[in-house]
Structure 1
Amino acid sequence: MRILGPSPVGVTLATVKALLPALGATPRFVNEMAGPLWTAAEKYAVYPPGVLAQAFKETKGGAYGGQVKPEHCNTAGLKLRYPGLYPETSGDQPQAHAQFPSWEVGAEAHVQHLRAYTGCLVTGHLNVDPRWVFVVGKYRIETFEELGGKWAPSPSYGTELVAIANQLIGA
């Protein structure tokens, strides 16, 4: 499944939001996170169902439960630009993760980060992804499947995203 590109014909935010509860998405994910994620994905020409699938996986459907807290408005678990600069920002502590002022900004950072993996720079917009500099030019991938072992250490990470995205489009 390509990272860059539009949604399939007939697949809209409304159709995807209708399927999210059956996957176990929280009301937060459906009502607060999905819209900004979809909008950011369309703005940067990144495949919207794939973005929602990744955010769903990273946030446990909006339930969170890990070191990243909902109040971080961080939909992808992005770390700070320089985690570990201070003792409280090292490892997997909450303070080591980027915090955004809104779901809209967090979604933009998430999508910009995915776009950086494809080698595409953000132009014409403020870059809010704190980690893009460590990704762009280091990786050059085209599909969500290729994120396995790069974005996350798990080699099955990308195929898990594709499976979720396929459920979101009713495939």
Structure 2
Amino acid sequence: YWQEASHEGVRQDLAFAQALVETGFFRFGGDVKPEQNNFCGLGTTGGGVKGAHFKTPEIGVRAHIQHLLAYTTQKHPSTKIVDPRYDLAHAIRLERGLCDTWYKLNGTWAMSPNYSEKIMGVWQRMLGIEAVETKSEKYKNEHDKKDNKVKEEVNTTEDQHKMRELVDELLKKNK
């Protein structure tokens, strides 16, 4: 999501929050199945309609980002269009008005009158999650701490040496 959204100037965190809402936090469970790589419900209308299928997760994410562009801006995607509904969605939004806020997706992207509130709620919860340190980060941080400890020990030894010299000088002057 970070790569694809960055290419198009779309907020990565909000697009990802939308994917979490659309997929039930990637548990799916609705009409779209995980193997479809359809993270935004493209082409689903309920009642068992499966919607679009994308060969890879990357292409599925790209289609999601492109669909957001179709709803929100006059500019075309900078990448080759993979969203099968892009032209139709873009034409409709140009005719009826672009969604220049997430709130305007209510009743347009999804029929729910609280659709954007669901996305914003997930996004706010994302902001409150503490980052988890990976094993490689933990290893690096432990080694950084060890390196800093060695540097501190060296600095402490040097400071102690300088302090002794200063004390010796003061003692000599006062004799």
Structure 2 length normalisation: TM-score?
Answer: 0.65
Pick aligned residue for 1:129 from 83, 101, 114:
83
Q: Is the 8 A contact 1:75 1:110 kept in 2?
A: yes
Aligned counterpart, 1:169: 127
CA distance in 2, matches of 1:99, 1:120: 25
Aligned counterpart, 1:93: 49
The structure with the greater share of residues assigned to helix is 2
CA distance in 2, matches of 1:125, 1:49: 20
Change in CA separation of 1:92 and 1:122 when aligned onto 2, cut-off 3 Å: farther
Aligned ranges 1:1-150 → 2 under 5 Å: 37-79=1-43, 92-94=48-50, 97-139=51-93, 140-150=98-108
Q: Does 1:156 align with 2:114?
A: yes
CA distance in 2, matches of 1:124, 1:153: 29
CA-atom RMSD in angstroms: 2.1
Q: Is the 8 A contact 2:38 2:52 kept in 1?
A: yes
CA distance in 2, matches of 1:123, 1:55: 19
Runs of 5+ consecutive residues of structure 1 not aligned to the other structure: 1-36, 84-89
In the alignment of these two chains, the number of paired residues is: 125
Shift of 1:123: 4.1
CA distance in 1, matches of 2:47, 2:88: 17
Q: What amino acid is the match of 2:18?
A: Q
CA distance in 1, matches of 2:32, 2:47: 12
Compare CA radii of gyration and give the structure with the larger one: 2
Shift of 1:141: 1.1
- Structure 1 range deviating more: 145-154 or 120-129: 120-129
Q: Is the 8 A contact 1:119 1:137 kept in 2?
A: no
Where does structure 1 differ by over 3 angstroms across 4 or more consecutive aligned residues? Answer: none
Percentage of identical aligned residues: 34
Structure 1 length normalisation: TM-score?
Answer: 0.67
Aligned counterpart, 1:33: none
